[in-house]
Amino acid sequence: MITPTLSSRSEFLAVVGDHPFAALYTSERLSAYQRGNAWVWVSEGPWGALTAGLGDGTAALELLAELQAAGLAKGGRLHAPRVPREAVLGLFSAHHFGEWDQLWSTTPPPAARGEELVELLPAEATPDIDQLLDEALPDSSVRPGKGGVRDWYGIREDGRLVAVAADRSANGVGLLAGIAVAPDQQGRGLGAAVTVAATRRLFTRYATVSLAVMSDNERAIKLYERLGYTSGVARTSFDLS
């Protein structure tokens, strides 16, 4: 029977050096398992039950498979370090794969043109936010009133909402999500402006600010790196059939 190596969140975070990904996706209810240079944990994270890993991808994937076989994995969607899809399919009946990067910064970003236009959006802006997300990020699960969103920041031009970003911070880590620009307004630097302004505001409360981006979105990754999001981990997530 597989047994936890650690059951204390504080001890686990100390072992992994307060890793921002681990800090975000854990709660006090935690079981952490170690194998070599890999850790896998099961926790009630800020957005529900979750099973995830850090470190060596092969070892973490094997641990995830053992936890799943023992009925200990939770959440339905598993989050591994970046591993080939073939390796996942060799151990799991899996589908709905996602390859993404969790990036973070520990220093405020350089100034961006237009960041002074960014405002904290009131609750009355919910229909406008939803409309913009329907146009720019229709599959986004980050929506007003859902997913632990604290605030929305945005840019309006002539009364129209043209760019947004959500504050989804949790567990002492600033977290940006739902960054979107109206399709007909892209290429004007609005994404940089709303990201910079929101990031600066989060740095007034947090020492680390993070965001997630799909690994094939090279344009966005280059932008975020330019804005100081130069540390990160590559992830492979998948649903279980």
pTM as predicted: 0.94
How far is the C-alpha of 110 from the C-alpha of 157, rounded, in Å? Answer: 23
Domain boundaries, the chain: 9-103, 107-207
pLDDT(46) > 90? no
pLDDT in tens, 137-196: 999 989 999 879 999 999 999 999 999 999 999 999 999 999 999 999 999 999 999 999
pLDDT(48) > 80? yes
Q: Element (H or E) spanning 95, and its range?
A: strand 94-105
Q: 48 φ, ψ to 5°? A: 115, 180
Q: 107-207 architecture in CATH?
A: 3-Layer(aba) Sandwich (3.40)
pLDDT(241) > 80? no
Q: Would you state the pLDDT for residue 234?
A: 98
Average pLDDT over residues 35-53: 93
pLDDT(1) > 80? no
Average pLDDT, the chain: 96
Q: Which residues contact 91 (CB under 8 A, 6 or more apart)?
A: 61, 62, 64, 65
| 186: number of Cβ within 10 Å | 15
pLDDT in tens, 98-147: 999 999 999 999 999 999 999 999 999 999 999 999 999 999 989 999 87
Average pLDDT over residues 209-225: 96
How far is the C-alpha of 50 from the C-alpha of 88, rounded, in Å? Answer: 18
Q: Would you state the pLDDT for residue 106?
A: 97
